[in-house]
Chains A and B, each alone.
Chain A
Amino acid sequence: MANLIEMRGIVKRFGPVKALDGVDLRLEPGKILSLCGENGSGKSTLMKVLCGIYPHGDYEGQILFEGEEVKARTIKDTEKLGIAIIHQELTLIKELSILENIFLGAEISTKGLMDFPAMHKRTAELLKRVKLDVSPQTKVGDLGVGQQQLVEIAKALSKKARVLVLDEPSAPLTESETAILLDLVQELRASGVSCIYISHKLGEVKHISDDICVIRDGVHIATKPASTMTTDDIITMMVGREMKQLFPREDHDIGEVILKVGPINAWDISNPRMKKVVNASFELRKGEILGVSGLVGSGRTELMECIYGCYRGNHEGGVELNGRPLKLASAREALVQGIAMVPEDRKRNGIVPIMSVGQNITLAYLNEFANYGMLSMAKETNAIKQSIASLRVKTPGPELAIRNLSGGNQQKAILARFLLSTPDVLILDEPTRGIDVGAKYEIYRLMFQLVKKGISIIMVSSELPEVLGISDRVLVMHEGVIKGDLPNENLTQEIIMDCALSEGTAQ
């Protein structure tokens, strides 16, 4: 069958660095091709080349669409051909309605006046096609992340997209939302829309792909039918070495209770009548890894923010660390008392993008390098060097702006920030979201190093295999309630899901 898209020998340089080194990619019509690779392997760069974000001439190699060479200058040129990219970060405007978002920049109008009935009808059709049962007038900000993604897809379809590029669409989604998304992608395939699917979740990749293309360090490793590969094969190809074990569990001692939480109650920020956390209380022992599982919106992030003192809505309840009651007033006080938190949303709450990797690392404990407010650059540089080495942050140098690093390395730098001092309790909210297998593995190993030093870790995660693979004990949250506090012995994903969704509370 003729290829819909063929990319031949794509080379893309950033200064002296080759981000892509002769990558080939072929997409047949009506197929789903998954693109796998570690963070920084060049997947996103390849897609930016395909979509014209890097204009023709900025890279070497050839792109053919239905056999004809494409020389796109802008993303508009590729949109005309029917290639639509849906970015990791959604680009919808939250204050506008679904309808207005879908037709943004392409409004149906007569002589400058918007034709709302026509747009309404068309939007309703599109929403039906993506199986989103809401009114076209709904404000996008009122939708969940999963629903917003469906709106993005509807928007792409409104532009008569023939190829959808989905860049890690499932990263912020719950399992049920992911299932809806995967069904939709498969249905679109049946109706002739091809798809390039980028994801770190190899289960999904296996499930929906016709073909899988693996790239590593900017080099095309292989493209094979999905049916001929196991997830282990994919991982081996991605990292270039065999991963014996995804979760490097290590034995460690667990001591006395050091943190007593709650009972904590918290209310929603925008809707003060809605309770987000209901009478939540738990204990944490020294050197323990406590996994907190639950769907997105189960109140786990709010609970963690209450403990760290940075929750913005109304909340009440206390935290006792080493027998001392703490006020829940600000992140600053929490850090001083020995509680640190690596936030969930790296981009919004973690990195200061224009500052250097080094300055990002020292941000939280800057006083350690200062006398009377004056910084000792030598002391600081030295600490940065050690941090970068011990957490294996891959960066050309500490002076580089952190936004230039891959997600996994940004995450390691943020971890480094909170490990410059030794906290008693480290809260990790989705520490491995959107980062690749190799970096995940390193972060797990680091977590075990930390608990061996006597630091206690609370890890919030949506990924059940991760929770089961790492935790000593698991808290299950659902709709603001801690439904279960289970030692991680013979636990299975089913038990956790049952616990979350069953009536009453299991202990």
Chain B
Amino acid sequence: MSEQQATSKSADGANQDLLEKLKPMNLQVLVMLFAIIIIMVFFYFMTDGSYLTTRNVSNLFRQTAITGILAIGMVFVIISGEIDLSVGSMMGLLGGVAAILDVWVGLPLSLTIVFTLAAGLILGFWNGWWVAYRKVPSFIVTLAGMLAFRGILIGLTDGTTVAPTSNAMSIIGQSYLPDMFSMVLAVGVLAAYMIWQQRVRGQNTQYGIQNEAQGMAFTKYAVIAVFSLGIVLLLNDYRGVPTPVLILTALMLIGTFVATKTTFGRRVYAIGGNVEASRLSGIDVEKTKLRVYTMHGLLVGVAALILSSRLGAGSPSAGNMAELDAIAACVIGGASLAGGVGTVVGAVIGAFIMASLDNGMSMMNVPTFWQYVVKGGILLLAVWMDSATKRRA
């Protein structure tokens, strides 16, 4: 009897701890889900239902891909307490490089990808080196990059559009995965996730750490499985999962893993939380920041390939103002510009919200100037809500 009491009490305690832990995160996620539902319902009625056709939902996900990938890199930069304003120009330049390699040089797709990603690494490294080792404020370094990268792009392309890209190139941004393939892949990933989680539980038991109830864990798996398979089915109902969405999903999972399960991720949070304490705890602050920017550059390269493939061209104005969309996505997703706070999933959901607004307003034929005003307003609102809830707590 007493033993039973004791276990139920400790399980209670564990639950409470978990609740405490999830509370702030949950609130953020709930607010975002709520926002998404409002946006969906609003546009559904404003567009007489065509907003939520499988065709448009598929488009919506595809539109999320580029901003989402940029936001994944950006959120690491923001968590580390820095900023990157050069993203738009960098994506434009890398997209231009990809188009030039594809159209003018005529390289095979694989080499175009390799060279573009390598160029992304180099540009990211460049930014990071100035920020980390030369101690120039990141705002300035990346503002310089914003101007310079755009300039290089215009110089390289001579101000003209580089088109049309090859058929192979269009695979990246425009193709859809076969229905069966996505299904099998999704099931495979889910299975791998569950096996991994069960192994973690095993390790916990080995170290005498309380696990959540097995039933609870299975419920969690079930919810995740239903949700992700549901999305795959939905997308398959139109033409299948768009390739950029697959890339975004993969990068999101990897990004989340890096942020939460690696020493690198932990150190990024620590540096954003308190640089001096991190340094005195033996963290190589400069190297970590350099890595953050380099990784970010690589991700911008991925986004640039998708962009050029979708446009079928490299354009001197491509990616204009994309940095602001990416920053907005991170902030809407709960990242703090003061550093130390933010999640990859939040940033991607933020990108999805931005894409939903863009897409809905375009369908309603809202004039472009209104689209800017609305997006600006949403950004302001999101940050205000964040600081308002924090003040209360």
**Which A residues fall within an 8 A CB radius of B?**
308, 310, 330-332, 334-336, 341, 343, 348-355, 359, 363-364, 366-367, 370, 373-379, 381-382, 385, 396-397, 399-400, 417
Residues of B within 8 A of A376 (CB): 203
Most buried by A among B270, B277, B280: B280
Q: Is the CB of B262 within 8 A of A351?
A: no
A-contact 0/1 string along B258-278, CB 8 Å cutoff: 000111101101100110111
Most buried by A among B206, B282, B340: B282
Q: Is the CB of A374 within 8 A of B261?
A: yes
Known A-B contacts A354-B341, A374-B262, A382-B209; the reply to A310 vs B203 at CB < 8 A is no
Main secondary structure of the interface of B (DSSP, over half): helix
Q: Is the CB of B200 within 8 A of A377?
A: yes
Q: Is the CB of B273 within 8 A of A355?
A: yes
Q: Is the CB of B261 within 8 A of A363?
A: no
Residues of A within 8 A of B273 (CB): 352-355
| Residues of B31-90 whose CB lies within 8 A of A | none
Task: Give the CA-CA distance A460 to B24 in the complex, in Å.
Answer: 40
Q: Is the CB of A399 within 8 A of B282?
A: no
A-contact 0/1 string along B308-329, CB 8 Å cutoff: 0000000000000000000000
Chain A CB within 8 A of B220 CB: no
Chain A CB within 8 A of B237 CB: no
**Which B residues fall within an 8 A CB radius of A?**
17, 20-21, 200, 203-204, 206-209, 261-264, 266-267, 269-270, 273-274, 276-284, 340-341
Q: Is the CB of B264 within 8 A of A332?
A: no
Residues of A within 8 A of B262 (CB): 370, 373-375
Residues of B within 8 A of A396 (CB): 20
Q: Is the CB of A364 within 8 A of B266?
A: no
Q: Is the CB of B282 within 8 A of A335?
A: yes
Which chain A residue shows the least CB distance to B209? A381
Q: Is the CB of A349 within 8 A of B267?
A: no
Residues of B within 8 A of A370 (CB): 262-263
Q: Is the CB of A382 within 8 A of B208?
A: yes
Candidates B204, B277, B284, B340; contact of A350 at CB < 8 Å:
B277
Most buried by B among A335, A353, A363: A363
Task: Give the CA-CA distance A352 to B275 in the complex, in Å.
Answer: 8
Q: Is the CB of B282 within 8 A of A332?
A: yes
Which chain B residue shows the least CB distance to A340? B282
Candidates A352, A382, A385, A397; contact of B270 at CB < 8 Å:
A352
Task: Give the CA-CA distance A471 to B190 in the complex, in Å.
Answer: 59
14 pairs of residues in contact across A and B, judged by CB atoms under 8 Å: A310-B279, A330-B279, A332-B282, A348-B276, A349-B280, A350-B280, A359-B270, A363-B277, A366-B266, A367-B263, A376-B203, A377-B203, A378-B200, A379-B207
Known A-B contacts A375-B266, A378-B200; the reply to A341 vs B280 at CB < 8 A is yes
Shortest B282–chain A CB gap in Å is 4
Task: Give the CA-CA distance A349 to B281 in the complex, in Å.
Answer: 9
Known A-B contacts A367-B263, A373-B262; the reply to A353 vs B274 at CB < 8 A is yes
Shortest B167–chain A CB gap in Å is 39
Q: Is the CB of B282 within 8 A of A355?
A: no
Residues of B within 8 A of A308 (CB): 280
Task: Give the CA-CA distance A385 to B263 in the complex, in Å.
Answer: 19
Q: Is the CB of A355 within 8 A of B280?
A: no
Known A-B contacts A353-B274, A355-B270, A377-B200; the reply to A331 vs B17 at CB < 8 A is no
